[in-house]
Amino acid sequence: MNRCPENDKILLFCEHELSDVERSQFELHLKTCAECRRELEQTVADDALLRAGIDEAFARHRVSNRIMAQIRNEKTATPVADSHKGWRYFWLTAFALLTIITVVSLYTPTPAKYHGRVGAVMLQALNEKSMLQSEKLAVDQVCDLATVEPAKLDGCFLFTVTSGQTSVFKMSGQAIARINQGLPEFTDAKATFELVSGAIITILVNGSPLKLERKTIIPAPFNTSDLAPDRPDLPSAHLPSVASTSCASDAIIDCMSETPCIIDNSAANASAATPAVEAVPGSATWVDPTQPPGKNPFADEPLKLDGN
């Protein structure tokens, strides 16, 4: 089948690229050529379909652009800040902390200011010279300090303090005793204090806390030996025996006095040839001044110093 030579001008005709003369000639040719006319109609239909799709795509794009433009132009509403929100959190936190502190303080016992806070203090006179409120007390007479405070004391007293643990201490001298904020207090004190038994305790002496421990004595500004309780006389200490160098029986030591003496039977029977043994003052050893050097005190024979 022969193709029409004017077929190449169909696209140019559709695109309006032919000159007026060529366009007029091609229109005359279309009236006589059915093939070119049919090809032109097909091309126009395809072009219309293509333009419709393009227009639809651009329409959608224009709609999208319009919507996006509206979104961009729309002012974002800034949320209104709550000025009381921060204060609300602050007060809630403060209230919670205050509640916790209150509960803890209610269930926590109050700490003692000093060790030795007491519940009751009993005092006992130790000798007949002990005086309470300028009145003599009988030996071993017991009083409750809470009932007689302020108690003016003069003498030797034994204090029994009851609290969580029991403590017993001794006071010798003069003082005014009372219970101050749960502690034994001694004012105008001119006395010595000594813990006798029990737990360590703290007392107030002339306004200052003083801890009493075992074997601790607080010295007084004056001599309190006359206030000490009477002590029974102890028997004289036994002095060491002296070895005798004679064959006679040992000397008999009678009741010892401050200056002990020895009675030697051999010395009494013989004569002044054998002097008595003398005691050196300040020493517990008996020395025989007649004993020559090198003489064995436990034998009658002299020592041999030649090594045999």
Q: What was the pLDDT predicted at 278?
A: 45
Mean pLDDT estimate for the chain: 71
155 & 58 share domain = no
Identify the domain boundary among 176, 192, 227: 227
102/106 Cα distance (integer angstroms): 6
- Within 10 angstroms of residue 121's Cβ, the number of other Cβ atoms is 23
8 Å CB contact between 10 and 39: yes
64 & 125 share domain = no
Examine residue 288 and state whether it is found in any structural domain, yes or no: no
Examine residue 57 and state whether it is found in any structural domain, yes or no: yes
69 & 129 share domain = no
**Segment 60-113, tens digit of pLDDT:** 777 777 777 777 777 766 766 666 667 778 888 888 999 999 988 888 765 443
Examine residue 241 and state whether it is found in any structural domain, yes or no: no
250 pLDDT tier (thresholds 50, 70, 90): very low
98 or 225, higher pLDDT: 98
Identify the domain boundary among 227, 258, 282: 227
Give 42-102 as a DSSP string: HHHHHHHHHHHHHHHHHHHHHHHHHHHHHHHHSPPPPPPP-TTHHHHHHHHHHHHHHHHHH
11 or 277, higher pLDDT: 11
Q: What was the pLDDT predicted at 199?
A: 76
Strand partners, 183: 180
Identify the domain boundary among 179, 203, 227: 227
Examine residue 49 and state whether it is found in any structural domain, yes or no: yes
Examine residue 151 and state whether it is found in any structural domain, yes or no: yes
Domain count along the chain: 2
139 & 222 share domain = yes
265 pLDDT tier (thresholds 50, 70, 90): very low
Q: Which long-range contacts (CB under 8 A, 24 or more apart) does 112-117 make?
A: 112/182, 113/181, 113/183, 114/183, 114/202, 114/209, 115/200, 115/201, 115/202, 115/211, 116/161, 116/163, 116/167, 116/183, 116/184, 116/199, 116/200, 116/201, 116/202, 116/203, 116/211, 117/163, 117/182, 117/183
Examine residue 51 and state whether it is found in any structural domain, yes or no: yes
Q: Containing domain of residue 172, as a range?
A: 120-227
**Segment 17-64, tens digit of pLDDT:** 888 888 888 888 888 888 888 888 888 888 888 888 887 877 777 777
223 & 124 share domain = yes
Examine residue 33 and state whether it is found in any structural domain, yes or no: yes
Examine residue 268 and state whether it is found in any structural domain, yes or no: no
Q: What was the pLDDT predicted at 251?
A: 40
160 pLDDT tier (thresholds 50, 70, 90): confident
- Per-residue pLDDT, averaged over 285-291, amounts to 51
Q: Is the model's pLDDT at 197 over the cut of 50? A: yes
Q: What was the pLDDT predicted at 113?
A: 39
